[in-house]
């Protein structure tokens, strides 16, 4: 990554701290169930949202695949003024309703849409967005569908758009903690990919990897792969 990009990325990190993110989300009220509320308010403790946000700096549009309760797009809408068009898709209608509730304050200020999708067919509207996020989604996709899923994302994204891919590293011994986490909160154990395998899948689909790195937060071994179509 060239020096300009390094400075560009660090500028946002210096302005937005994880404590600010946690404070912002802790004040959100989706009238959701106990587990969903925990995830909305405290996920930034284990997921580095501060690092993820930097890739949307100066963008105008952001798309989130598997957006959950919409907390990440809420952070984008709140902390990145340049972004005016946002869309999140999620297979669970309950979570879509949570997302709509916690983002109610942006009505009339930004175009912010949440939709339910079938988990297989990515909506064509993804082509209207500059930055696409896939945060901890791949390890919930069945193994036999992961390659097709990545290929479809590539095919439907617009040329020169960016994919921010973040997941948990199967090759790290701490992956066991994510499996236990998912068993407790999702009732399933994940189908994590190693950092190497995920990079291969993305490149085989046609993506150009422009940045990649790993970051362990407490017991969670994250990796980031930033790609361009």
Residue ranges of domains in the chain, CATH in brackets = 3-228 (3.40.50.150)
User: What pLDDT shows up at residue 2?
Assistant: 41
| Chain-centroid distance, C-alpha 24 | 18
Which residues does the chain have with pLDDT short of 50? 1-10, 13
Q: What are phi and psi of 87, to 5 degrees?
A: -145, 135
Q: What per-residue confidence (pLDDT) applies to 13?
A: 47
pTM of the model: 0.92
* Segment 74-106, tens digit of pLDDT: 999 999 999 999 999 999 999 999 999 999 999
Structure tokens of 164? 């921010």
| pLDDT at res. 30 | 75
pLDDT the model gives residue 3: 38
In the numeric block, which tokens belong to residue 167?
């997941």
Q: Which residues contact 105 (CB under 8 A, 6 or more apart)?
A: none
DSSP H/E element including 112 = strand 111-116
């Amino acid at each position: 990554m060239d020096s300009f990009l390094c400075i560009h990325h660090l500028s946002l990190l210096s302005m937005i701290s994880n404590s600010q993110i946690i404070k912002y989300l802790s004040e959100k009220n989706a009238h959701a169930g106990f587990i969903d509320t925990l995830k909305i308010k405290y996920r930034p403790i284990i997921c580095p949202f501060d690092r993820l946000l930097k890739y949307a700096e100066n963008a105008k549009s952001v798309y989130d695949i598997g957006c959950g309760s919409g907390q990440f797009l809420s952070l984008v809408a709140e902390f990145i003024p340049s972004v005016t068009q946002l869309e999140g898709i999620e297979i669970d209608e309950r979570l879509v309703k949570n997302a709509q509730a916690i983002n109610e304050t942006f009505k009339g200020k930004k175009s912010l849409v949440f939709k339910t999708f079938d988990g297989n067919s990515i909506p064509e509207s993804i082509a209207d967005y500059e930055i696409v996020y896939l945060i901890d989604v791949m390890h919930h996709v069945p193994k036999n569908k992961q390659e097709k899923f990545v290929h479809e994302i590539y095919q439907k994204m617009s040329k020169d758009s960016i994919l921010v891919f973040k997941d948990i590293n199967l090759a790290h011994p701490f992956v066991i903690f994510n499996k236990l986490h998912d068993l407790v909160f999702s009732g399933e154990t994940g189908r994590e990919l190693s950092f190497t395998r995920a990079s291969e899948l993305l490149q085989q689909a046609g993506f150009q990897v422009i940045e990649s790195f790993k970051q362990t937060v407490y017991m969670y071994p994250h990796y980031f792969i930033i790609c361009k179509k």
